[in-house]
Each structure stands twice: as C-alpha cells, then as structure tokens.
Amino acid sequence: MKEQYRKKSCLQLSVITPYLGVVLVFVLFGVLTKGVLFDISSLGNLVNNGLLIMICSVAAVPVFARGEMDFSLGSTEGICVMLIGYVVISNINLGWLGLLISIITGAVIGLINGLITNNLRIPSFVATISVNYVLRGVIYTMIDYKEVSFPTSYAVNYNVVVCFVVLVAVCIITYILMENTVMGKAEKLNGENNQALDFSGVNNRRYGVLAYVYLGVMVGVASYLITPRFTMVQATIGNTLAIDVLIALMIGGFNMSGGIGSKISQPIIGSVIIAVLNQGYALLNVESSIVQFTKGILFVVILTITSPGLLKSFKKIFGKQRNQVDKTTA
C-alpha cells in the first residue's frame, strides 16, 4: 500500500512540477526585470525566441513517443534556410516557392532518418547524428560555393501573428495525430513495447517513417517562418536546436522512453520555460557564460524532480543507508 502511494506521489509530482516551473520563471523574471518582461514588445520577443523550439519540440512528439530521437534537426534547419536564401537572392518573386522547397527538403531528410532507423534497424541516436554530420558538411560546402546575405527588405516578411497562428495549428494537428489516429496510438505503443507491436500486425515501420517525415515537414515550415530574421546564413545555424528540443521535452516532464504518457503539453511547457529564461536573461544583460551555467543547473534540478525513475533510485539509495544505520544502532 505504501509503495503504491509512493508511486502515485512521484507521478503527481512529475506532472505538477513543470507547471510550477512556468509560474516560477515568470514571477522570478517579472520581479527581477521590474515588470518589463510583461511589456508587449518583450512578450513579442518571447514568442519570437520560443517559436522555433516550440514548433519543433511539439512536432517531435511522435518520434520521441516511440522512444526514439532526432539529432539532425539543427542541420535540417540550416539546409532549409540556405535553400530559401538562394530563392530570395535570385530575385524570384514567388514567396510560396521558398516554403515549398523548405517543406520538401525537411520531408526528404525526415524520410531518410525514418528509413535508416526503422528499415535498417539502426538506433535513432546513431542514425540521426550521422545524418546531422552529413548535412552539416553539405551546409559548409554550400556556403563555400555561394554565401547568402538577405536584403534588408526581406525582414518585413516576418509576422509574429502568422507565426503564432502556425504554432497553434501545429499543436492542434499534433494533438489530433497523437490522440485520434492509428499512427499516434502506434507511436505510443512502440514506446511501451515495440516487439509486441510488431507481432500485432500493425505496420510499425511505416508509422515510424511517417513520424520522422512529419517532424521534417514541420522543421521546414518553422525554418521558413524564421528566415526573415536572419541577415545572412552562417555554417553554425541551428547548431543547438536538437539539444534545445531535447531539453524542452525533458523539462516539460516528457518520458524519454516514450509510451502512453507522451503528451504535447509537455514540450509546450518546456519550451515556454526556456523562452522565458532566454528573454529574462537578455533583459537583465546577463553574460552568456552565466546563462549557460544557470540553465544547466536548472535543467538538472527539474529533471531530477520530474523523473520518477530518478526519485525511485534516490529513495532506494537513501533507504539502504537508513537501514544500515538502523542495523548499526540496533
């Protein structure tokens, strides 16, 4: 009975803590910035800074629900932005062409990741990191061939309202996909027990590939939305995107082994926390070294609190130590 109560307490704590984290960072930086965080311009920057991470982390739910991951997100973004840049500097007056090229590029990269991971049975960690290095090499080659600098007039194409509408649409689509389709149920069941799912007759490989394709498409959409914010394309573009998405998922309470507990609310919460942290630090003019240090500490603390497995491990360790002390004193 006590063990069931402990498990229930850990589960409740892991669910509640991310929401408390959102409230905490808003209140903390609201006080430290003397309310500047809640200005309209500041909130606009908050959306701008968190847009890419939030879209990608929400779209990554089908992949991570399978117990898999994608480390090629940053390079996918870089390739998409680079190709959009070529369209812009070639003076082709077709705004939709850049979007189409970006979506197709993301879908192709997602298809490659999905086929390598699900058909060749190579672990997603190894497969996507390998694809990431290949794509990063392509980006360096493209930049050496022709650098891309965006004209100042292109910046007017950025619209925060459109970005927010797209973000809401991605959340709705992903929710429907995960909660009301066979694909969503298959992704979650794969995270629970992939061998049982393979024997059930469900085409698990196909749904696995589709999960990566869906993520790639959404990365392409997000890349198109944020491109007007760039003045030029650098080889390091998107370097931290995959890690930021991973941290957003984990801070939001997402179980990295996937399964039926996978929800889109988790990456949304994690993305909001990261966006508020970044905006708050920017308003306070905090040095980047201190920012990275404090974010790392916060990540470890929240991960420890929100992970029932870690809490269980700590309880076992401290429980053994307490038993040893009791035996010694007895």
Cα–Cα distance, 235 to 147 (Å, whole number): 10
92-140 pLDDT tens trace: 666 688 899 999 999 999 999 999 999 898 999 999 999 999 999 999 9
175-227 pLDDT tens trace: 999 999 999 988 998 888 777 776 777 788 899 999 999 999 999 999 999 88
Position 6 scores a pLDDT of 52
Q: How many domains does the chain divide into?
A: 1
Please check whether residue 313 lies inside any domain of the structure.
no
pLDDT at 313 over 50: no
Please check whether residue 46 lies inside any domain of the structure.
no
213-254 pLDDT tens trace: 999 999 999 999 988 888 888 888 888 888 889 888 888 888
Cα–Cα distance, 107 to 109 (Å, whole number): 6
pLDDT at 87 over 80: yes
Cα–Cα distance, 212 to 60 (Å, whole number): 8
Please check whether residue 26 lies inside any domain of the structure.
no
- Provide the token pair at 266: 């988790």
Please check whether residue 155 lies inside any domain of the structure.
yes
pLDDT at 292 over 80: no
Please check whether residue 269 lies inside any domain of the structure.
no
Average pLDDT over residues 19-35: 83
User: Is the distance from CB of 10 to CB of 308 less than 8 angstroms?
Assistant: yes
Please check whether residue 171 lies inside any domain of the structure.
yes
What is the residue type of 230?
A: F
Residue span of the structural domain in which 238 resides: 58-243+253-262
pLDDT at 63 over 90: yes
Q: What is the per-residue burial (b if ≥16 Cβ within 10 Å, else e) of 180-207?
A: eeebbbbbbbbbbebeebeeeebebeeb
Please check whether residue 49 lies inside any domain of the structure.
no
When the pLDDT of each residue in the chain is averaged and rounded to a whole number, the result is 82
